[in-house]
Amino acid sequence: MRFLAGRLAASGLDVLRFDYFGAGDSGGETTDATLSGWRRDIATAMDELLDMSQAQSAALVGLRLGATLAAQTAPGLPSSIRQIVLWDPIRSGSDYFAELLERSHPPPHPWRVAAADPVGTLDGLLVSPAFYSELQALDLTPSSIPDNQDCLMIETRNGDPCTTPLSPEGAGSPKLTLIKPHSFPVWIHDDERVGTLPVEVVGGIVDWLQ
Amino acid sequence: MTEGFTERASLIGPNASLLGVLALPAAPPRPERPAVVILNTGTTHRIGHHRMYVDLARALALGGHPTLRFDFAGIGDSAPPASDGSPILETNLQDLRATVDWLIKTTGSQGVVLIGLCAGADHAILFAPTDPRVVGLVLIDPFVPETARFFVQYAVRRIRRFGLTGFRIRRSTLLYRVTRRFSLRFVNSTELQHISFPGRNARETLRRSYSAALAKGDQLLVVCTSSNRAPRQTYREQFLDAFRGVPFGGALRLEFFPGCDHTFSSPAERKRLNGIALHWIAHAAFRSCAGVAPQSRIDRFPSPAAKGGA
């Protein structure tokens, strides 16, 4: 996302990246984070960007869970938010939840989780029951795609249950552009792909936003 | 501002190209308490695995220690390194020098403790002997050469887990490690290399670095984990056995986390680590280095070993 932000800034756009409450450099603990709170964070960030840049219009770009939250937040955003980019949005929260549990190496012993992690562990982070519930309840359908903004949908991981393509129904919308680049899933790190960048996807986003 | 500390992002270095986040105690500054720098773990940015460095930095600030998390050039939000052909290790150590300069100047602290995991620990121990303002090191899973006992315990662990019939010759990490060590020692007659110490004899480089850091009075907290599929350590004393002859004495506190993996994916293990680090930094006998002038450049690396070094 830093690479994308740099490319967008180089093309003349003001760009804001931010961390959700309880994530990254932002304040708060993961145990106090909720998806509904993260959706409000998106709205706050958009307000901040418009205020700082004095731009007349803005776009929203989200990757994976961020894309899902962006799609859910977009309908309530001001009309100045005219474009939205959904990069491999999570469609099924329960499948994503299972993927995160599987990704834990090694998976935590049940007794240890019960004894030391009363809140709940997800991919090495403590999260609240509310977060668990909200995540598992996520369900992005073609009708969830915002129709009041131009939308660019990027699908690089066909076959993944978490990101099963929302097309072809969604692709029928006149405001939706769907691209399926020959890229790799950027959120997966392995020895072969370390250090590589999804140049094609980033270039596609920059071109589309222009 | 969060209760008890503040945080601010800053651009650091001669070209303001390095991004750091400084957590400052809300209480009035106490220069006698060392400031802390947390180094990147490999290519992972300043947040650390499972956000472990955010929690640690904030806890240290609450404990009265200004604490900086920053990104080396080319990592996280820092600008790429200058393309002047300098080796990445050298560039990183120069970044660290600039970061310590900035932290001392900004906070008025009289000494600095470096904290690093894996490659971050390797950078810290290489840097410490070159800077008199460094008074202590928290080295989490630094590179520790394998010992004979390591291999025995590794094999026992594998057999216990999979049994003799479950041992896979193909793609066996244990077999690879044994073969590599045998080859280095008896076939190629070369010394142990490691990615953090390119072109150097890793064991000798570290032995000299530890000795030099101890000679200038640095305090050491070394934390080793052992629960990876291919562990770096299999027993607590491996660190001491690997660096036999280094006069650690009372300057070393050694902690072993047998049930913990390399990235501390367990919140309970991270909490234990933070508790140990906080207690150690609050109570270690750090020397005073008020008024010590920094060196202008890194020029006191332990010289490479005669055989196998560069």
Q: What pLDDT does residue B32 have?
A: 86
Query: Which DSSP state fits B44?
Result: B
ipTM of the complex: 0.83
Dihedrals phi, psi of A82, to nearest 5 degrees:
-105, -15
- Strand segments (E) across chain B: 5-12, 18-25, 35-38, 67-70, 112-117, 134-140, 219-225, 252-257
- Partners of residue B43 in chain A, C-beta under 8 Å: 194-195
Low-confidence ranges of chain A (pLDDT < 70): 104-119, 157-174, 183-195
Neighbours of A114 (CB within 10 A): 10
pLDDT digits (tens, 9 = 90+) for A9-30: 999 999 999 999 999 999 999 9
DSSP state of B9: E
Q: Is A122 on the interface with B (CB under 8 A)?
A: no
Q: Which residues of B255-289 are buried (b: 16+ CB within 10 A; e: fewer)?
A: bbbeebbbbbbbbbbbbbbbebbbebbeebebeeb
Cα A74 to Cα A43, A147, B7, distances in angstroms: 9, 9, 31
| Nearest partner of B64 among B105, B33, B104, B103, judged by Cα | B33
Interface test with B, best of A25, A101, A190 (most B CBs within 10 A): A25
User: Tens-digit pLDDT profile for chain B (310 aa)?
Assistant: 567 999 999 999 988 999 999 999 998 888 889 999 999 998 899 999 999 999 999 999 999 999 999 999 999 999 998 877 788 889 999 999 999 999 999 999 999 999 999 999 999 999 999 999 999 999 999 999 989 899 888 888 877 776 666 556 556 666 676 676 666 666 555 666 676 777 778 899 999 999 999 999 999 999 999 987 778 889 999 999 999 999 999 999 999 999 899 999 889 999 999 999 999 999 999 987 766 655 544 444 444 443 333 2
Check A112 against B266: CB less than 8 A apart: yes
Binary contact (B77, A104; C-beta < 8 A): no
Q: Does B51 touch chain A (CB under 8 A)?
A: yes
Of B46, B265, B268, the CB nearest to A104: B265
Strand order in the sheet with B18-25: B5-12, B18-25, B67-70, B35-38, B112-117, B134-140, B219-225, B252-257
